[in-house]
Amino acid sequence: MAKLSFKNVKHSYLANPQNPSDYALQDVDFTWSDGGAYALLGPSGCGKTTLLNIISGLLKPSEGQILFDSTDVTAMSPDQRHIAQVFQFPVIYDTMTVYDNLAFPLKNRGVDEASIKQRVEKIAEMLDLSGSLHNRASGLTADGKQKISLGRGLVRTDVNAILFDEPLTVIDPHLKWLLRSKLKELHQQVKRTMIYVTHDQTEALTFADKVVVMHEGQIVQVGTPTELFEKPKHTFVGHFIGSPGMNIFPCKIFGNRVMFEDYALEVHGEISEKLVVGKAEVGVRPEFITFSNKGIPVNVVKVDDIGRLRIVEVRHKGQSFKMVLKEGEAIPDKDVHISFDVNHTHVYCNGWVIN
């Protein structure tokens, strides 16, 4: 086991990349600490699968280095790196039994029969596969097959990290939850580094201790689920995480005052005009907007009841805001104003937070 570092890793699928947009991965410099449970979150095409394949060694990056502890593994093949990977669609060896599937990586590495048996049985038990060890693997359901894929990574004692590439895509919704909690439980048992790629924020936030958010080939923020929620470093994170996403609207900055239309806003931390070069925006999550007597006057446009919460859309001139009301909170009839929670109002310049 080891910690895993990326040193200025770039990758392009083109032979001669010219612009930054030719890169699927733009200059990633990051360290994954040993034994962590990471989620790699981002929309389709943001470079997360590229990043994953570079870790496993299926892809060789165009530039940069990958280190496991202090060993440079950039040029090593997947099996030399001791990495396990679970793919989007279950990969099983159809003609083998469940036992043989699980034993396959060990047999390939010349482990003796007795140790294989012991190891496979232990892992099968962890995965609740003990009962079907001697059945043909091809007869299993999708979630059973995906467990085998995972099991082939777990049986190996030399694995540095287990990578998951959207592993729940083909699993039935009601089994997704079960398998996800199984993964979490397994992580606590085996204490291996796990990196879980997904575009589903619920999956990411429930599985991981640390979530790595990617956008257009870059890592935009790394943090705990709470950090991502309370202080998004980039408007993309604010927008992508949370439901509904963060309200983001333009503002002007004069000296150290932040102005939205004619209204001065109080924001978290210190702001200075000097910091702003380019487009300035304010971001507030719907959870941190409340009705009040003063502040920005608005009209209520729409109310959506989603069970215990209500999502209210209000509008000031051309700008609409979404806010989340808890049960029992009333919507005023007239003279509606809204105000923002100071500690959770952030200012962004060209997308990045500045306060």
Partner 1 sequence: MSIKTENNKAWFLIIPVIILMGLNAFVPLMTVINYSFQETFGDNVFFWEGLKWYDQILHSDRFHSAFLRQVMFTSIILSIEIPLGIAVALALPRKGALVSLCLVLVALPLLIPWNVVGAMWNIFALPDLGLLGKMINGMGIDYNFTRDPLAAWFTTVLMDVWHWTSLVVLLSYAGLRSIPDAYYQAAKIDGATNWAIFRYIQLPKMKSVLIIAILLRFMDSFMIYTEPFVLTGGGPGNSTTFLSIDLVKIALGQFDLGPAAAMSLIYFMFILFVCWIFYTIMMKDEGK
Site residues (vs partner 1, CB under 8 A): 56, 58, 77-79, 83-85, 87-89, 91, 93-96, 104-105, 108-109, 149, 152-153
Q: Which of 56, 339 has the CB closer to partner 1?
A: 56
The strand pair at 299-306 and 280-284 is best described as unpaired
One-character DSSP codes across 182-213: HHHHHHHHH--EEEEEES-HHHHHHH-SEEEE
Nearer to partner 1, 4 or 211 (CB): 4
Least Å distance, CB 95 to partner 1, is 5
Q: Residue 105 Cβ, how far from partner 1 at the closest point, in Å?
A: 4
Minimum CB separation of residue 246 from partner 1 in Å reads: 35
Closer residue to partner 1 in complex, CB, 2/96:
96
Nearer to partner 1, 53 or 132 (CB): 53
- CB of 60 or CB of 317, closer to partner 1: 60
- Least distance in Å: CB of 54 to partner 1? 13
CB of 84 to partner 1, least distance (A): 6
Sign of the CA dihedral 26, 27, 33, 34? positive
Rounded to a whole number of angstroms, the minimum distance from the CB of residue 258 to partner 1 is 49
Pick 66 or 205: Cβ nearer partner 1: 66
Distance CA 124, CA 249 (A): 52
- Alpha-carbon distance of 276 to 257, in angstroms, equals 12
Contacts 24+ apart (CB under 8 A), 263-271: 263/295, 263/296, 265/340, 265/345, 266/340, 266/342, 266/345, 267/342, 267/345, 267/346, 267/347, 267/355, 268/342, 268/343, 268/344, 268/345, 268/346, 268/355, 269/355, 270/355, 271/347, 271/354, 271/355
Specify whether the CB–CB gap between 59 and 25 falls below 8 A: no
Identity of the residue, 77 or 243, whose beta carbon is nearer to partner 1 in the bound complex: 77
In Å, how far are 11, 29, 88 from 196, measured between CA atoms? 20, 18, 11
CB 45 within 8 A of CB 106: no
Find the shortest distance in angstroms from Cβ 164 to partner 1: 13
